[in-house]
Structure 1
């Protein structure tokens, strides 16, 4: 937890309105979500500058999940507190007029004072997109991970099955992970092929640092035949990161959805990324 996610931000102060936003972005040009002390480009700082212009006062935002450098989002949720009064449309259109082309605000809603983008979330969902072809793609080069070796999706899906449920995912967390507990509940982990695209779709109550990329790395090693199907379970039960192979590239990773209690009535949007929305056979 950092200074921008401290306990004082759990409830909006008197005289302030709490606003929630849906945000999507391409992470390729940014050093991750979180504002950096050395002033390098981050999604958070870029969004805050745009919202501050709309509010005509400083705005600090808190997000549902801090994405790494190169990672994208279709369904990021943030909130901020402000004394500025603006219609929902003004927050959306005003922010987008100030933002660069690779960040967009998709919706805005006034929220109860106790809403918190991070702490009130009950589930998060990611998609990891692999372009599986001998030739590297000239398009979507920063939006997908290219794997030139043939990947067996059936083997990958079989290997994923033992990872479902509540487990200690220590073997899938980065060494710098700050989570208090490695125990997470994986609700689904689906692996499907759509032409040259392979999509790893994973939903959990929360994720560890690099957890999805480490899951993807293990499944690709199994799909290529380098490792047996049983290896995913062995890595999980070993609980040691050094046994889990390489961390997959960030470019194919998307935060696609964050879920909250129905009482907050946040807008529903399609599950991205955009270039997959026409795939009728992709599980919703």
Structure 2
């Protein structure tokens, strides 16, 4: 079965999260339904990182196996044609070897957390940032962040329902920068614990507000106690922005039957007019 790697962008606001849920529409379900409509088969997609309700992505990576071999650009465009009702878009698609796995082949994941730091609340980006009305010292937040770099037991910054086998993780990057009224926290690691980034951001915010010292942040880590974590930042400001992989083979698209491709192109154009 041909395997496709796709890069997906979405606004997580209206979804129950990435993974299938009984209480509403998930991003996974929306993409699977769109693929099923053009390909004529039920599919299951697999992602690099499962995001919670309200979390966004500018570069989520998924893979899917299809019974027929389609042109990669047709997979992208035909899927997008059936996603117009929801804030999800397939940015790219490529046919890859069967050994590629969106989750297991990933060697690093990148997140950004956005904080709007001004007195006035957001109007346009209400569901895309965390608003903090009081002054935050981004330099102090960055200094505190550096005490969390490296391999540690991150129990303090781990959700109580986290299903990971170990709380040990290696944080490769944790940087805080300010651009006008916006503070961005950049985090990179091979993998993260459930709620790890949001828990860290909430703790760094306490340092930026002057309520915690840099030493307090490090002490919270060393305590290995969830009760020592600062208040967890909301999902609204979190974005999955990238996933890294070692080089992998991309298959030759010339092997795809052009007649099949033309059929889907015609169906896509018809749907665009609806």
Q: TM-score, structure 2 length as denominator? A: 0.89
Cα distance between partner residues in 1 of 2:58 and 2:208: 27
After superposition, give the CA deviation of every residue in 1:137-187 in whole Å (9 maximum; x if it has no partner).
Answer: 111111111011100011001101111111111110100000111111111
- Tell me, yes or no, if the aligned pair for 2:16 and 2:25 is still in contact at 8 Å: yes
Q: Secondary structure at the match of 1:215?
A: helix
Task: Report the counterpart of residue 227 of structure 1 in structure 2.
Answer: 212
Cα distance between partner residues in 2 of 1:73 and 1:264: 25
Cα distance between partner residues in 2 of 1:131 and 1:87: 42
Q: Secondary structure at the match of 1:248?
A: coil
Task: Report the counterpart of residue 106 of structure 1 in structure 2.
Answer: 91
Q: How many residues align?
A: 250
Pairwise CA distance, 1:263: 3.1
Task: Report the counterpart of residue 272 of structure 1 in structure 2.
Answer: none
Cα distance between partner residues in 1 of 2:58 and 2:217: 28
Task: Report the counterpart of residue 53 of structure 2 in structure 1.
Answer: 69
Q: Please tell me whether residue 170 in structure 1 is matched to residue 147 in structure 2.
A: no
Q: Please tell me whether residue 50 in structure 1 is matched to residue 31 in structure 2.
A: no
Q: Secondary structure at the match of 1:262?
A: coil
User: What is the root-mean-square deviation of aligned Cα atoms in Å?
Assistant: 1.2
Q: Please tell me whether residue 88 in structure 1 is matched to residue 78 in structure 2.
A: no
Gaps of 5+ in 1: 1-15, 267-284
Gaps of 5+ in 2: 252-274
With over 3 angstroms needed to count, the CA separation of the structure-2 counterparts of 1:213 and 1:265, relative to structure 1, is farther
Q: Please tell me whether residue 33 in structure 1 is matched to residue 6 in structure 2.
A: no
After superposition, give the CA deviation of every residue in 1:119-149 in whole Å (9 maximum; x if it has no partner).
Answer: 1100000000000001101111111110111
| Structure of greater Rg | 2
- Tell me, yes or no, if the aligned pair for 2:119 and 2:134 is still in contact at 8 Å: yes
Pairwise CA distance, 1:17: 1.1
Cα distance between partner residues in 1 of 2:119 and 2:215: 26
With over 3 angstroms needed to count, the CA separation of the structure-2 counterparts of 1:141 and 1:261, relative to structure 1, is same
Task: Report the counterpart of residue 243 of structure 2 in structure 1.
Answer: 258
With over 3 angstroms needed to count, the CA separation of the structure-2 counterparts of 1:98 and 1:110, relative to structure 1, is same
Pairwise CA distance, 1:265: 6.6
After superposition, give the CA deviation of every residue in 1:85-117 in whole Å (9 maximum; x if it has no partner).
Answer: 211111111111100341000000111111111
With over 3 angstroms needed to count, the CA separation of the structure-2 counterparts of 1:252 and 1:264, relative to structure 1, is farther
Q: Secondary structure at the match of 1:174?
A: coil
Q: TM-score, structure 1 length as denominator? A: 0.86
With over 3 angstroms needed to count, the CA separation of the structure-2 counterparts of 1:203 and 1:264, relative to structure 1, is farther
Q: Please tell me whether residue 217 in structure 1 is matched to residue 202 in structure 2.
A: yes
Task: Report the counterpart of residue 177 of structure 2 in structure 1.
Answer: 192
- Higher RCO by CA contacts (8 Å cutoff, separation 6 or greater): 2
